[in-house]
């Protein structure tokens, strides 16, 4: 059974229309296209918009004006994830699957080296492990300055 690939007259007419439209589009400039789009698009109702503020602009204070800098109250309640990294290593999946209770994984740090303190995955400080009320804690020994953090991002 053979499949007939000959287009019907309707398909041929549609293909000719598309070919003509594409040929016109090649000749049209961007200004012509923009003018056609503006004519065919219905006029959007003008709704009142809130004034846009600059991204770096400080929020408008509701109380007395402070000259100390931007108002940080808007970000103080944002939760962040803080973690301490003892060290790390790369192992193959084969070795990962062979791990069981009592296995020892060698890390890239020496014993007694400071731990990394990460906030949302970004290094912000170094510290040492302490015990507080029978729970582990960390004492910060060195806090990374904001300028150093920016340098590491580049």
Question: Per residue in 36-93, pLDDT tens?
Answer: 666 654 554 555 555 655 555 555 555 554 556 677 778 888 898 999 988 889 999 9
Q: What share of the chain is helix, strand, coil (3-state, %, to 5)?
A: 30, 20, 50
SS3 18: helix
pTM for the full model? Answer: 0.46
Return the CA Rg of the chain: 32
| Rounded CA separation 73/60 (Å) | 12
CB 103 within 8 A of CB 89: no
Question: Per residue in 107-153, pLDDT tens?
Answer: 998 888 899 999 888 889 999 989 989 998 899 999 988 888 777 77
């Amino acid at each position: 059974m053979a499949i007939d690939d000959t287009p019907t007259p309707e398909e041929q007419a549609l293909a000719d229309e598309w070919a003509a439209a594409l040929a016109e589009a090649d000749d049209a400039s961007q200004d012509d296209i923009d003018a056609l789009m503006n004519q065919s698009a219905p006029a959007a109702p003008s709704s009142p918009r809130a004034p846009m503020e600059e991204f770096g602009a400080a929020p408008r204070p509701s109380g007395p004006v402070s000259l100390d800098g931007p108002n940080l109250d808007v970000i103080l309640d944002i939760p962040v994830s803080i973690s301490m990294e003892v060290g790390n290593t790369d192992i193959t999946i084969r070795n990962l699957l062979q791990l069981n209770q009592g296995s020892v994984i060698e890390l890239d740090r020496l014993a007694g080296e400071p731990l990394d303190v990460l906030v949302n995955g970004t290094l912000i400080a170094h510290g040492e492990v302490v015990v507080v009320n029978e729970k582990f804690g960390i004492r910060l020994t060195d806090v990374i300055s904001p300028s150093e953090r920016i340098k590491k991002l580049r």
